[in-house]
Amino acid sequence: MSHLPGVSVTAVESRPVEQHSAGPGQPPPANPGNARADAGFADRIRAFVALTKPRIIELLLITTIPVMFLAEQGVPDLWLVLATCVGGYLSAGGANALNMYLDRDIDALMSRTGKRPLVTGIVTPAECLVFGVSLAVVSTLWFGLLVNWLSAGLALGALLFYVVGYTMILKRRTSQNIVWGGIAGCMPVLIGWSSVTNSLSWAAVVLFLVIFFWTPPHYWPLSMRVREDYARVGVPMLPVVAANTVVARQIVVYSWVMVLVSLALVPLGYVGWFYATAAVLAGAWWLWEAHALRARARAGATGAKLKEMRLFHWSITYVSILFLAVAIDPFLR
C-alpha cells in the first residue's frame, strides 16, 4: 500500500473540521454534524464502500492470494482463500475509514481527495469513526475464528500501524512517512502465508521486504504529480521538500534494492525458473523506467515532460506480474 518538517498532527487537526467539510472552494454545509439530507440510500451505501478505498484493497489482495499458493505449494483450500480475502478487506477497509476520519481536515483542501464522503458530507465524522472501529473489531474476530489467531494478530497490527504509526505520527511530520508507513501495506504478504501455515518463513519475509522497498518508488512518482496538493496542507511528502533530482535518485536506489531482494527467493530454494525469469524481466524493465525518470529529472524536465506517472503505472503492473509468478511457479517445479 508511498509522503514541511516540524508539522504536527495536533497542530493541523486543531482547526475546526466543519469549515472544510463541503470540499475545496465550497461553502460549508448548514448542519455539518448530520449527513446531507439530499443523500439517498444508494448514495449512502456507495459512500460507506468508498470509505474502505476498494481500489487500494485490490492491490493488497494481489499480494495476499499468490503467497497462499506458494505457502501451500499448490492450490490452497478455497474456503480459506475466501475467508482470508474477506478478513483482509474488512481489516484494510477499517484502517482506510479511520485514515479518512483523521485526515478529513486536509482531505477537504486537496483536489485529489475533495470528493471523499466526509468532505462531501454524505457520511458524518461520527459515523465514519464507528464504521472504522466496527470493521477493525469484526475483521480481527473473523480472522481469529475462521482463519487463525496469528493472522488475526498480524491484521490488527497492520491496521494499528497504518492508523497510529502512519496517519497520526509519521504522515505530517517526516518526509520518510511513506517509507516506514508502508510497513502496513507489506503485512498482507505475512497474513497470506500465516493463513495457510499458521506460521511465518523466510519466503514470507523476503516478499514482505519486496513490498517494503517497492512502496516508496511506487508512491513517490504520484507524489511528484500532486506535490502542490501536499504542499498546500503541509504534508511533507519527499517531492514537496526535495528537488526532482533528489526524489528520482532515491527512486533508483530503492528500485535496485527491491529487484535484488525479489531475486533472493531463488537461492533460498522457494521458487524455480519461472519466478526467476519473471522477476529478472519485470525488474529489468522497472530499472529502465526508474533510470529514465532520473535522466529526465537531471535534464530539468518538469510538468508533462517529466513523465513521472509512467513509473507509477508500471509499478502496479510490476507487482502484479511478480506475484502472479509467485502463484504459478509451484505448478512448474
89-143 pLDDT tens trace? 999 999 999 999 999 999 999 988 999 999 999 999 999 999 999 999 999 999 9
For the question of whether the overall pTM of this predicted structure is more than 0.85, the answer is yes
Nearest one of 105, 107, 110, 100 to 53, comparing CA atoms: 100
How much of the chain, in percent, has pLDDT values that exceed 70?
A: 89
Phi and psi at residue 245, in whole multiples of 5°? -65, -40
Position 39 pLDDT exceeds 60:
yes
Which class for 104: exposed (0-12), middle (13-18), buried (19 or more C-beta within 10 A)?
buried
Q: Over the chain, what is the mean pLDDT?
A: 89
Q: What length does the chain have?
A: 333
Each as own residue / partner, the long-range contacts of residues 19-26 (CB below 8 Å, 24 or more positions apart, any chain) are 20/104, 20/105, 20/108, 20/109, 20/119, 21/104, 21/108, 21/118, 21/119, 21/121, 22/108, 22/119, 22/120, 22/121, 23/108, 23/114, 23/115, 23/119, 23/120, 24/108, 24/109, 24/110, 24/111, 24/114
**Distance between first and last Cα of the chain:** 30
Q: Specify whether the CB–CB gap between 154 and 197 falls below 8 A.
A: no
User: What is the predicted pLDDT for the residue at 29?
Assistant: 44
Domain 9-332 class? mainly alpha
The model's confidence at residue 26, banded by pLDDT at 50, 70 and 90, is: very low
Which pLDDT band holds residue 37 (cuts at 50, 70, 90)? Answer: low
